[in-house]
Amino acid sequence: MNRKKRILLGLVVAGLMLLGVGSGVKAQSVASNGDEEMKTLEGEVVEVVEEKLLSDENGEERYWQVLAVRVTRGELVGEVVRVENGSEMMSSLERYEIGDLVMVSWSKDVEGGDIFYITDYVRRNALFWLFVIFVLMVVMISRWQGVSSLLGMAVSFGVIFKFVLPRIAAGDDPVVVAILGSLVIIPATFLLSHGVNRKTWVAVAGTLIALVVTGVMASVFVKAANLTGFASEEAGFLQAYNPGLVNIKGILLAGIIIGVLGVLDDITVSQSGIVEQLKRANSKLKAGELYRQAMVVGKDHIASMVNTLILVYTGAALPLLLLFVDNPRPFVEIVNYEIIADEVVRTLVGSIGLMLAVPITTMIAALVVEEK
């Protein structure tokens, strides 16, 4: 399959998936707007009617404001509403200015009067332009292969939002759903990004095997560490919203499986390509020698990618790491907290899966190339 056909196929698949995602999002938005108790509006601050700088008992300064907000999206489009940001008793850390785009919640009090309050900024525009810059960089640097990669990314999002998340929300086993989703994401994204060839199929095989091993290890150590999955506030909220429907521990395992997918792509394709190049350079090399020479580069991959994975998880869990700073409790007690143990298991299991992917893919590639 040539590049144009591959891209065309990817466009069709991605378009169908994104169309379905759009339909799901739209339906959810209509349902939210139909809620008579709480509605969400968007607007622009056009006037700061009143403002006070207050200090609490600890000397921390906070703001109390009365703002005029022109509604730009929602049922009251075009109207200007008065919104109180904080109160005399509960002031706000945020200080809004004229021109700020904000999210406004609209509800009714017991007497039927309108209540408006700001819940957050509207960040959609900034995110949109950041995404545009990302797409332009990918296309400018990688050309057609970059376009194929973007299509693969669209397929991944389509599978996650149209299959993985809905099935988990419906009460299906998150681990099974994550594995089934991965079985679609891996070959689709690999073939779109790297073409239909032997190198890609070897990388797909190596990734699937490494993913299964990662899933088994995650299951074993989540059970061994007695992790419940309730370490985060999101998990507690999800359980309160759908009590008994979603398997929280399963979501933890599914997150580990999906999280390691993206890193495996890079390393398995690279190792498969290295073996092929070695065989082309010296067609007399046997599988064992191909494996040994390719693993010289593979060890460098392991060193750099494990460090990358550790830093990625560290960055995501940076607030948690602050628990170690100036904390009177001993390290052995802090590391025993589930919220910490959760990140440790996630990081180490992902790193082990990554390391195993290198020799697994290299061995498969060496055996396949030798039989050519």
Q: Stretch 10-39: mean pLDDT, rounded?
A: 47
61-64 own/partner pairs: CB under 8 Å, 24+ apart: 62/86, 62/91, 62/92, 62/93, 63/91, 63/92, 63/93, 63/94, 63/95, 64/88, 64/91, 64/92
- Identity of the residue numbered 348: L
Range 23-33 average pLDDT: 39
- CATH 2.40.50 residue ranges in the chain? 37-124
- Is pLDDT at 289 greater than 80 in this prediction? yes
Cα distance between residue 283 and residue 273, in whole Å: 15
Number of H-type helices and E-type strands within the chain: 11, 5
pLDDT digits (tens, 9 = 90+) for 153-166: 888 888 999 898 88
pLDDT value of residue 13 = 54
The total number of residues shown for the chain amounts to 372
Number of Cβ atoms within 10 Å of the Cβ of 8? 13
List, for residues 50-69, the tens digit of each pLDDT value.
Answer: 888 777 666 677 778 888 99
pTM of this prediction exceeds 0.85: no
Tell me: domain 37-124, CATH 2.40.50, correct?
yes
Contacts of 92 (CB under 8 A, 6+ apart): 62, 63, 64, 65, 85, 86
φ, ψ for residue 109 (rounded to 5)?
Answer: -85, -175
- 22-36, 233-247, 319-333: segment of lowest average pLDDT: 22-36
Half-sphere exposure of 242 (CA within 13 A, CB side): 11
Contact 93, 63 (CB under 8 A): yes
Q: What is the pLDDT of residues 98-110, one digit of tens each?
A: 998 998 888 887 8
Predicted confidence at residue 31, as pLDDT, reads 37
Q: Where in the chain is the domain with CATH 1.20.1640?
A: 135-370
DSSP for residue 113: -
pLDDT at 359 over 60: yes
Is the domain spanning 135-370 CATH 1.20.120? The answer is: no
